[in-house]
Structure 1
Amino acid sequence: MDKYNHILKRFFFVAVSIYAILVAIYILKIPAGRGDEALFVSDLNLIHNKGWIDAITKNISIPFMILVYPLSFILKKHIALRLISLFLTIALFFYFEKRYKFSTTFYFYLVFYLSTTIFFFYGTNDTLFNVSLIVFFSEVFLLYQYKKFDSSIAFVALIIAFFTRALLIVYLPVVLIGLFIIYKCRKSFTLKLRYPIAVLIIMLVINIPSLKENGVLSYDLKSPPKSIDATWGQRQYLAQLLINKGELKKGSHPTWAETQEYINVNGVESLPISISDAIFFDLKLTFKEFFKDFGNTLFLGFRQLGLILALIIIIPLAKLLKQRKLEYNYFLPASFLIMIAAFSFIIISNVELRWLAPIFVMAIVWYTYQEEIKLLNNKIVFLNYIVLLALVSYGGFRMFEKLMV
């Protein structure tokens, strides 16, 4: 079986390399301002035209803008944004190379995932947020699995993630579990807080204009036009209602004007104001959407992870039922399930898999660890290569079709 796995691995390497080249060509052809990228182009223009203080007051993603700003003087703004995302992704590879002793296979798993998702290369703050959280979770994994932990790297990464996107609030349950593990294992490492404290102070000082004007930290916001009273939470909720009625395509949103018109006709109480309010607004709908989104996320996630998605759920659950004892090595599998469940509950409309990138990448780390210390049966490894090869072939074919259009 080892011989067959070795052969399949070589085929996988070649297939992923071709797939990645096709994806790279496709990325180069993506027009400027796609999706949320337009928001960050607008933020850069605001900084250049009005200055940093005015931009921070109006809400921007400060850590990401700090990285992009210098490049925006010499490159087109969307190119500067995408280039920073590319640099951050490359930096993640260097981080893994320095902190782990994984074989080349791990990096091909990672390239497959990145090629399938693509969003790591968009000009948005998603990549900075994702990479920062991946590094934090990775350091927790290194602490309990390898007894190696760099508190400076871990806490600086967590602080950057916190100031980059408000989405960290959703990740708070697993972040707190990670901090608890760090606390319980505190005798295993030397605590170094000089750089984390410095970064925290700098970020707080830079946020002063927003704190003074708005009373909150500066985060990028999808704000409505001045003539609109509707909120993003109301627009999100209305999107799900219209999708369920078949009046809107899945993954789409009504316009701000359409949302405002719905409120004018049905009353302000017809839609929840915030995303958190949406959870309790209609419990029957909330639970219905939870199970639908949970199942849909697992189905679509399979396209990005192959059998890794199933194994990180099934293997730990089987061990837990047998041992009936929670241990630190359940952290990544538990985080995987907790975050999929959290997003399925909180986001009443479509769950976007880019929000789950930190735990999906860590699922690859978990699987690689299981594979390389021989905890997985060779037949399972063989089957996963078969599945991944099928997914690479499918993805490559779809990408080739897009390039031919």
Structure 2
Amino acid sequence: MTDSTLTSSQLTDVLTMAWSELGPPAVAIELLHRTGDWLTTLDTAGFLDLDTHPDTTPPRATLRWAEAIAALAPDAPPGLLPANLPPTRHHRGVLRIAAALASAVPVDLGGAVGDMDRPTTAHVLAAISRSSQDRAQWYDPRLPDGRPSAHLIPLYLDGLADWPTTQEPPQDSELPLWPARIEEEEVAQQAAAHPAPTASLPLSTHLASVLNHLRPIDRRYRYETLGMRSAPGILSESIDVRRDEDGRGGAFFTGPRPMPGPGEERLWLRRAVDPHCWHLLLVPAGVDLRTVPFHKLREVGITTVSTSPPAPGNTPVLAGTDLRNPGGGWTVVQIGDVLAEVVHLEDAVTGIHWARPGGKRVGVTIPARPREAMERLLTWPGVP
């Protein structure tokens, strides 16, 4: 039966009931239910057979595992599964591991878990733990004098890993000092009443207060790039770098052009992996670009300006302010005739981005706190 319209919980119940009658625990079904929308998707695609009865007997269901796994293959006929399944709710490795736990299809475990996030991996570990057929650990008790009793007894243990529980999002921490908290609340109320204030020099008292109160990103939410400690510097990669002191080499660059300060060097570059996005860099004296990977630029105090073509379906910038956002306090200001979002990134680094009237996107990263970064940005030619 195709597309039974049952919910994921209902499908879990009927599949588990049929599975339990066969003996082994239904961890494969439980894994699919707990990690996303695979059960309802497979039901809609016709990979579940539901057997209902006119009397009060509960329905039974079976899942055609091999056919479902075959539909994941790159050369599978189109239409068996939707082309653009959301990966966060339909991780393909989860379906493959579930099929292996169901003894239906073997799985390359390393390939299946290679790009899983932490919560999904925790569910997979729990499913593998619960798939064990024997949870008894046998012991030979000792007699009072220390000799073995030759009488084995079992100790029944839980699985090695329990199903993970859903964690609630962390609550905003409160400022320890009462006057500071009252001041922050007043600034937040003013920001809500006056969204998208105009940014011009000198900054208004209101905008300066908002920028001063943007909290940096919580360390728990900072993105760490793994496996990049020995990454080569940007000058050793396949990167097009253009240098000159009078700026004529940047005729192709359409973004703001900050003038280099004392001891700074200005250059333009683009990476082979993103040939349509140009970057302008202000590199402080003493920074050797041969030793700095691209993802570490802001950590060594390099100012970056990037321009890229319009992106279809790009979310527009909307007026608003969130002083305490765990991902970095942010606010939206008006510069000229565009709205720009200002985000306080980690370690006193500020990110500012906007879209020009023609759709071209501009992104700026300045190694300074938000107020100082905004005041510096407004002195650059070509803003916005």
TM-score (structure 2 length as normaliser): 0.21
Task: Work out which of the two has the higher radius of gyration on C-alpha atoms and give 1 or 2.
Answer: 2
TM-score (structure 1 length as normaliser): 0.20
Answer 1 or 2: which has greater helix percent: 1
**Which structure carries more relative contact order (alpha carbon 8 Å, separation 6+)?**
1
Answer 1 or 2: which has greater strand percent: 2
